[in-house]
Structure 1
């Protein structure tokens, strides 16, 4: 089988590695529009902040493709699909035939149509990070436009470099899709204490040479402007080829498009009317498709994902999942708020089951809540134990003795405590060794403390050094 993958980002790279892990003989060719080896976009705020180097966020090593007999065209964009000839055409003139084609073209940043926006820099790629870091070196002030995940991560990264930064958001509170108003307020105060000035409910009308203009002609100083107003699926290639496209490339439970030879995964794919913008669903899709393409599991199907959003910004702990905006009239709401400490915890329960949660300021309970959210199982009667690990009966990642082996520790890579234990018993005595064997910690990085806790606990039990 000749497999061609268009896209070398988090979805495409994972698919290629999953296929090769299952079958050494599939002929694999991958095209990546970026010249970089595949890297983890989730950790780009660390690159902006200077706490990680570009080589530290790579998903695959520099020689991985050659060592695994994969032909990689890096920095080469595919410009057309000839479905009749089953061939892709690249910008450098390459024509690559395929038996199976997988589109993993990802997303592109949404750039608002305002005067002067070309002076701003998007926050999406490693090249964007290079431009931001270069400008930040001499910037006396910076503005980030957009108060969603990307905007907050960009602003926190710039503040970490010592640049005075103002985040501007058109909505009334930050991350309005995931958070309620109170959580948004506490997040705002937390970021403020870390050096990020925040203005909500404001509209940017223009980007000038050294400032940003707001509605009402107010000016905000800015030597550097970063745009983080969301992303949209890259679907032009699929649309030009005549594939069914709505918001994303429409796929079924096998991740197959309306052309039986063409599949799509990741942020460009639309499954059951939904486009996912997070890494965990992309990796779940890659695993299912690798099973199908190699025959490892011909019954594998993708049934959709239940999302857990994690904010990846230094000194800010935040996790949100499910239906967080239901009211007391619509569901049972259990909440705890301590603004002075920057803590907010909320459970949304319907018919005795967890349908949503917000954890801000301290997220040790996220492992337990994620399992309950995923499985839809009945909750313990003691709700307090869910909000405050160690007080009630909830098992948490901070207390490995009470975690069942089936507990999912790494949400991004679906790694359980039992898998970490087995890995440790096979000789992995530190987090890096566990990560190499299981991929735990290599997604959003939010599970690193939990993995460290489990490894440390196992070493302590056996009296060995971690």
Structure 2
């Protein structure tokens, strides 16, 4: 059997994960000949951890997903710094900027998304106006952000707040400018946003909420649309992203906000697929890594023929803020109002201690939640959300992390979780998968991480994985 030529266009988190999943299903390359084309010069890295690089708590090499000889050891044709210029669907070729061509039988678009720069007078990416999107951006930010210097972060979404926290941790005077009524408006309600803003304020971050930037004054800062001014030697732009769809559109593929795909991750051309931030699927929220990883698993099944019935049906989203000193999780229908007649909504607020919790229930099951400053409650509520099991009658106990699903131990004892419990949400790794990897020879946390990718996302599951490893070692 002649292997199919599969070309993955993009070597970010989605493309790298797809390559890993294909190799896991076809380790000898009998079904697939794999080529991965990455526009960046770097090997794949964990974009989730870029705020830690900016904060100085992680070195750039620590966030790499693959070693330098990863592709060679697996027989994968990996080309970094390979910019694609055109897709010739009729000839089934990808044309590269260096004049070379790559033939394909199946093409996967994993081109990700690019930062969006808002239309502000004088604002253009350059020496003192930098995006926060990739590893090179981190290096430029660190070069430009001198200790004690004022920095403006344009955008109070998830990435903007992570960048702001990282820079504040390095000793910069940070002001977040956000035109919406409150920060993280896609994930949080006003009460949670107030609590988060207060907490970040205690960590040295100032906020200008509900006002936008009107003009950039080089060497001075930002003039805002209410007439006020924010002094800044450096402006970090984190105002959102736009899916990279230019190549797809030029090739005649159906494109909306992203490249349109069906449940088999097929575009309007059945030989071309798309995953990650560049893809638009009805069940996907863009900008998060978990949907991309789940799409990679489905597509690897399909491209290798291991499971031709595999389909992607969407991902229940849990958003976590990766900012040192802040514990925040938001999931599902978190924006539902307290007065909604079709849902039971319970809310707890403790401003003095920086705690906020909101629980949205439908038919006694978790439909959404926001949890700030209550990590045990976040872990417990997420378990109920993942398993779709009825919650206990003690709603307040659940909000405070004191109520547990039947047969589930507290978060401090992760080894007692049921086999189906998801331990690492970033990589969709269950306890059962960790146990299987252990039995296959991965007998410490580092080896479990290599075998399953657990702990290599945001790192929030490290204690749980370590606890499971200790439990297995004691058997």
CA 1:434–1:282 in 2, change beyond 3 Å: closer, same or farther? same
CA distance in 2, matches of 1:27, 1:391: 50
- Give CA deviations for 1:202-237 in whole Å, capped at 9, x if unaligned: 111112122111113321110111000011110000
The one-character-per-residue Cα deviations of 1:102-126 (angstroms, maximum 9, x if unpaired) are 0001011111011221241000010
Tell me which of 304, 308, 318 is aligned to 1:294.
304
Is it true that 1:384 corresponds to 2:421 in the alignment? Answer: no
Whole-angstrom distance in 2 between the partners of 1:390 and 1:452 = 23
Which residue pairs with 2:178 in the alignment?
A: 169
Equivalent pair of 2:284/2:291 in contact (CA under 8 Å): no
Q: What pairs with 1:266-345 in structure 2 (closer than 5 Å)?
A: 266-272=276-282, 274-330=284-340, 331-345=343-357
Kindly indicate whether the alpha-carbon contact (under 8 Å) linking 1:248 and 1:275 is maintained by their aligned counterparts in 2: no
Question: Which of 134, 137, 141 is 2:146 aligned to?
Answer: 137
Deviations 1:398-456 (A, max 9, x none): 23365222211111222222333444455645432221222111112222232233334
Q: 1:90 to 1:302 in 2, by over 3 A?
A: same
- Determine the structure 2 residue equivalent to 1:191: 200
Deviations 1:359-418 (A, max 9, x none): 111322334322322343322223234223345667332233652222111112222223
Q: Take 1:275 and 1:358, find their aligned partners in 2: how far apart are those partners?
A: 17
1:365 is matched with which residue?
377
Question: Does the 8 Å contact 2:148/2:171 carry over to 1?
Answer: no
Q: Aligned pair 1:233/2:243, yes or no? A: yes
Matched position secondary structure for 1:364: helix
Report the TM-score, using the length of structure 1 for normalisation: 0.95
Q: What is the aligned counterpart of 1:200 among 191, 199, 209?
A: 209
SS at the partner of 1:117?
Answer: coil
Tell me which of 15, 19, 41 is aligned to 2:18: 15
TM-score, structure 2 normalization: 0.93
Instruction: Determine the C-alpha separation between the residues in 1 that align with 2:6 and 2:433.
Output: 31
Residues in 2 aligned to 1:265 and 1:420: alpha-carbon distance in whole angstroms? 25
Alpha-carbon shift at residue 64 of structure 1 (Å): 0.5
SS at match of 1:453: helix
8 Å CA contact retained: 1:143, 1:165: yes
8 Å CA contact 1:310–1:446 kept in 2: the answer is: no
The residue number in structure 1 matching 2:426 is 412
Structure-to-structure mapping, 1:34-49, within 5 angstroms: 34-49=40-55
Local SS of the residue matching 1:365: helix
1:32 corresponds to: 38
Q: How many residues align?
A: 461
Name the residue aligned to 1:150.
159
Counterpart selection for 1:374 from 378, 386, 394 = 386
Q: 1:89, CA displacement in angstroms?
A: 0.3
Q: Which moved more, 1:191-200 or 1:104-113?
A: 191-200
- Per the alignment, residue 453 of structure 1 pairs with 467
SS in 1 for 2:6: strand
Deviation track 1:229-281 (CA, whole Å, cap 9, x = no partner) reads 01111000000000011111111111011111100011111112755220000
Following the alignment from structure 1 to structure 2, what is the Cα–Cα distance between the partners of residues 392 and 28?
Answer: 45
Any conservation in 1 of the 2:154–2:236 contact (CA below 8 Å)?
yes
Structure 1 gap ranges (5+): none
Q: Does the 8 Å CA contact 1:291/1:300 hold for their aligned counterparts? A: yes
Tell me the SS of whatever aligns to 2:52: helix
Question: Kindly tell me: are residues 392 and 270 of structure 1, through their superposed partners in 2, closer, same or farther at Cα, counting changes over 3 Å?
Answer: closer
Task: Indicate which of 224, 228, 231 corresponds to 1:218.
Answer: 228
CA deviation profile, 1:50-91 (whole Å, cap 9, x unmatched): 111111001111110111111122111101011110001011
Q: How far apart, in 1, do the equivalents of 2:468 and 2:264 lie?
A: 35
Structure 2: stretches of 5+ with no match in the other structure: none
SS at match of 1:121: strand
CA distance in 1: counterparts of 2:86 and 2:285, whole angstroms: 23
